[in-house]
Structure 1
Amino acid sequence: MSNEQKKGTAKPFQRSGRSYPDEVKKRIVKEVQSGVVSQRGAERIYKINRKTIDNWITHFSLVTLNSKELTQSVMSESTENSKLRTLSKQVMDLKKALDRAQLKIDSLETMINVSEEEFKIKIRKKHGAKQSEN
């Protein structure tokens, strides 16, 4: 029996030469980033140095930053609440702007009505009227 089998420290996968397969690296990085396991936990479970795992996280994070698919999935998952808050704020701002615009329209309509009554002139343009050429 080897020392690893005696201590119960057998790795749950085989590495080829000095390197681990990319699938294994990505799976471990995904587990750490999703919070399933901490870096120390991954170190204990997979018997891989924490610094190595940290390097993988850095490497795959930089590689995937350029990946449109992952960027979209991360945006949709992690920032869904912030998107919702941003959209809610935009809706509130637009409602306020609409209220201000409606108030301005109402005040201008009132001003035109008062002016037409006091000065006995038509201020509103008639539809279909020809404009004068100057």
Structure 2
Amino acid sequence: MAPSWCKCGRCREMGADIDNKCCGCLPRNCVSTRDEMERLVLDPQVLALGQSFYSDMLARRGQRVENTNKTMRYSAYRNFTLWRHGRLGAGVRRVVPSCCVLSIRARYPSATGTYTGFVPGRFV
């Protein structure tokens, strides 16, 4: 059963209160079930391309990017944020809705079942 703060019906209680966020859509329009979610956030080829681009941006040219589930999840969260919010800038973060986090974790699960959750940006 979905928690009281969930409108879409696909969210679950997360490990920390800050992660308890819904996409805010009606069940038939949940962001986690949209075609764009599959194509832009969950597709392994799109994530691998994004990882390569990100490495180039950080001047890590020539370094091989491991396509582990952990790096795929990280790339998926980054793609989700770019898709839904655009470029945010250094240290600016947005919480990914629970329904979408659960979709990402289902596609790219942790071998240990341990996940980090949202990490607020550092203000420098």
TM exceeding 0.5: no
Provide the TM-score with structure 1 as the length reference: 0.19
Provide the TM-score with structure 2 as the length reference: 0.20
Q: Which has the larger radius of gyration?
A: 1
Q: Which one has a larger percent helix, Structure 1 or Structure 2?
A: 1
Higher relative CO (Cα under 8 Å, sequence separation at least 6) belongs to 2
